[in-house]
Structure 1
Amino acid sequence: MSDRVINCIEDLYQMLDAAVQLEHATIPPYLTALYSIKTETNPEASAIIRAVLVEEMLHITLAANVLNALGKHPDFEAQDFVPSYPTYLPDGESEFLVSIDKFSSTTLDTFLQIERPSKRGPQLDSELKGCVKRSNHHVFELKAVKPLKSSTYSFYSIGDFYEAIREGIEYLEDQANRKGETIFIGDPRFQVSNRYYYSGGGEVVEVFDKTTALNALELIIEQGEGHTHQIFNEQGELSHYYRFQQLKLGQYYQTGDSPGHPTGQKFEVDYKNVYPVKCNPKVADFPEDSELKQAALQFNENYQAFLTTINRAFRGGQEDLIGAVCGMFRLKECASQLIRNPLPSNPLMNGGPTFEMRYDSISVKAKSIKTWETA
């Protein structure tokens, strides 16, 4: 058995489709936690979560550029693209659920699990590098953890997941080059560049060949878990894992610090100044004909339209991406109607966005697009 996860171009397509889905799957939990923080409180937490969200959008863009460079488009409108929360992500030595929930110490622990660094070496008992064996693989919903060659493994970290993609690209491109061919057959016109993307979260890498593809994937790994367990990258920026760890420890990292031991300015995280959002709410939780239910449906329509806009951007409509990041944060106006109002059945608990997409009719999609464009 090969120790590679990716052995043919179809494997690589599946993994990159999964990468786009995986990066997106972190956005609803991060957005909800950000929305739940009361205005003018917890500035450190708000700033850090917002910065991570912006970079997650960059990671989606980078993964989509790699996929487009290989001649295949990502599909943000696929019916299984948005998972039903709570859901499992591919990393988790002892499995953990990712929920849509308010900002809390428990939520923060989950964010650290999502972004945790790789655990290289013999600690991972598997025939596949970066993977751990599972006895309950059936519980996973995301395509990112669907087995390619074994029904009993998943990746220990998101970084390990991307390392498998990198190794697959190098292997398949080498095989193609030996025949005088290349796997990078995509139309360059579908590449998103910095001309169409601005977020302050880093530079977009346009992908045309193996070198640029590996550069794009390296940026995702560095911004997420960090590179070789270093706190700061070459540009002096913190990875997501260590940004979240600052909130857990109540102190900023500064140059020269070692992991787990920040020496910068201290600050307080106030978990009490957070709206009591219901964990993993569903539209069905809200009474019929109630304002909460209408707000939940409106939010979902707007979010689905956001995904439709992103889908167009990676299929030749790059200009649609220009305002997408700002639009993502504009969703807060609709989410606030849910987050700031108690449930009629439980006054001590508030509503929240459900991120439930509808695919039952073209009219729903058309309505959501119209709603988004006029928001």
Structure 2
Amino acid sequence: MSGGNVTGTREEPDESAISPVGRRSVLASAALAAAAPVTAAGSGHAAVAAGSGPAAVAVAASGPAAFAPDGPPGVPGCGAVARLLAVPESGRGATWLRSALQVAVELELATIPPYLCGWWSVVDRRGEAARLIQRIVGDEMYHLGVVCNLLVAVGGRPRMRDRAPIYPGPLPGGVRAGLNIYLSGLTRSFVHDVMMAIEAPDEPLARTRHSSPSIGDFYTDLLRAFHRTAPRLSTRGQLSSTIGSDVLKPVRTLDDVERSIEIVKEQGEGTASSPADAFHDDHPAHYYAFAEIYHGRQLRETSHGWQFTGPAVPFPDARPMARVPAGGWPHPPGDVQLLVDRFDGIYNDLLAALDDAWGDGGPRSLGTAVRAMRALEDPAVRLMETTIPDAPGNYGPQFRRL
């Protein structure tokens, strides 16, 4: 989320009739990661298979208790998506929607710290790779706002501070089982094993009906539940925010719901479109953008299909931030500990402000979150420029929940 002119209103519930579902929206325009106004109202030549559509996950039906977002301590929502998708469609009412949307909040939140680490580590951010990552960070902040608005619209309240992810660890909700999300500076392995793995669309992955659910599966079923339930959508407590050139708006109708979820899917997570469909406004979906960085070439359609044969995308010089170990940096020097504590304090203030923004705080709390977001970069970069004694690499931010 980026900040600036904070204006807006907090609206009463929208009592108008819900309109029929409309056409699919085009991709939203690029959002920058920092420095945009906020208002509130609420050279490998590898080929890429074109995605066709999300595969439904067939799981045994169970009762409503199955979708309670519980799990092992410190792993928010572990397995929650599988439990949510196990509930029969007849049981997917307003309570199910609120549980599912809370998991969506956690999923979107979980992508931002690793992407920020990759972006902050780049020494010269004028290059194509840095530009791609910066846009994606902005998109993820926009997506977080979208799912928070959707949750508020159906009577819920987003929880972030006590449900923030712990790194290294799995994605919230049990999606992409086996994927370990860690924090590191930008390397090709980090791009491939973390960034591309998070965003991978359904079709390029070899998955079976017994595989863990993907983010695409989850959002597809979420939209289907909105259609079936057709809940009354309240605008009370929703926010409006300008994020780069994307504009977050309150959702009032099922058309708005569909548009919001399709944007989230097509911009990155679980996109069901082909690379051609993902290139609206010249912006590749997140998976393909990260793949361009990994392969060092832009993606182009050729007579042999989609291949990374376009202009070069040079891999940037990056500060050698080492992987943050489980539990954080052990026994760092005093000056490093001060930076770590400063960063974690600001991060927790940010999470608290986001909780308040979709609670009772509204635009003012959102502005506080924006300022905290900007304040994270200085201690993060200073850590990334500090060598770890007797070990390879440099320190970096932990994004530790206090």
TM tier, smaller: 0.7 to 0.9
Residue 199 of structure 1, aligned match among 238, 243, 267 = 243
**Quick one: distance in 2 between partners of 1:324 and 1:198?**
14
Residue 166 of structure 2, aligned match among 84, 96, 107 = 84
Alignment of 1:108-187 (within 5 A): 108-109=191-192, 110-119=194-203, 124-126=207-209, 132-133=210-211, 154-155=212-213, 157-173=214-230, 183-186=231-234
Residue 243 of structure 1, aligned match among 289, 294, 297 = 289
**Quick one: distance in 2 between partners of 1:191 and 1:107?**
35
Q: Judging changes above 3 Å, is the alpha-carbon distance between structure 1 residues 288 and 246 closer, same or farther for their aligned structure 2 residues?
A: closer
- Which residue identity is paired with 1:96? L
In the alignment, structure 1 residue 52 sits paired with structure 2 residue 136: yes
Residue 179 of structure 2, aligned match among 92, 96, 108 = 96
Residue 223 of structure 1, aligned match among 242, 246, 267 = 267
The aligned counterpart of 1:343 is 388
**Quick one: distance in 1 between partners of 2:281 and 2:120?**
29
Q: Judging changes above 3 Å, is the alpha-carbon distance between structure 1 residues 165 and 325 closer, same or farther for their aligned structure 2 residues?
A: same
Q: Which runs of 5+ in 2 are unaligned?
A: 1-59, 62-84
**Quick one: distance in 2 between partners of 1:116 and 1:259?**
18
Q: Retained in 2: the 8 A contact 1:199–1:325?
A: no
Q: Judging changes above 3 Å, is the alpha-carbon distance between structure 1 residues 192 and 289 closer, same or farther for their aligned structure 2 residues?
A: same
Counting matched residue pairs gives 311
State, as a whole percentage, how many aligned pairs show the same letter: 24
Q: Secondary structure at the match of 1:349?
A: coil
Q: Judging changes above 3 Å, is the alpha-carbon distance between structure 1 residues 124 and 352 closer, same or farther for their aligned structure 2 residues?
A: closer
Q: Judging changes above 3 Å, is the alpha-carbon distance between structure 1 residues 323 and 49 closer, same or farther for their aligned structure 2 residues?
A: farther
In the alignment, structure 1 residue 318 sits paired with structure 2 residue 375: no
The aligned counterpart of 2:311 is 265
The aligned counterpart of 2:65 is none
* TM-score normalised according to structure 1 size: 0.74
Alignment of 1:240-319 (within 5 A): 240-253=286-299, 260-270=306-316, 273-281=317-325, 285-287=329-331, 290-316=334-360, 317-319=362-364
In the alignment, structure 1 residue 30 sits paired with structure 2 residue 118: no
**Quick one: distance in 1 between partners of 2:304 and 2:268?**
18
How far does residue 349 in structure 1 lie from its aligned partner after superposition? 2.4
Q: Judging changes above 3 Å, is the alpha-carbon distance between structure 1 residues 292 and 286 closer, same or farther for their aligned structure 2 residues?
A: farther
Residue 190 of structure 1, aligned match among 237, 240, 253 = 237
More moved, 239-248 vs 282-291: 282-291
Q: Retained in 2: the 8 A contact 1:281–1:353?
A: no
- Which residue identity is paired with 2:348? Q
Measured on the aligned residues, the alpha-carbon RMSD in Å equals: 2.8
Residue 21 of structure 1, aligned match among 106, 110, 125 = 106
Q: Judging changes above 3 Å, is the alpha-carbon distance between structure 1 residues 267 and 8 closer, same or farther for their aligned structure 2 residues?
A: closer
How far does residue 335 in structure 1 lie from its aligned partner after superposition? 0.9
1:107-128 Cα deviation digits (max 9, x unpaired) = 111211110112399x6543xx
Q: Secondary structure at the match of 1:213?
A: helix
How far does residue 105 in structure 1 lie from its aligned partner after superposition? 0.9
**Quick one: distance in 1 between partners of 2:385 and 2:207?**
44
**Quick one: distance in 2 between partners of 1:222 and 1:112?**
15
Q: Judging changes above 3 Å, is the alpha-carbon distance between structure 1 residues 41 and 311 closer, same or farther for their aligned structure 2 residues?
A: closer
Q: Judging changes above 3 Å, is the alpha-carbon distance between structure 1 residues 288 and 253 closer, same or farther for their aligned structure 2 residues?
A: closer
How far does residue 294 in structure 1 lie from its aligned partner after superposition? 1.1
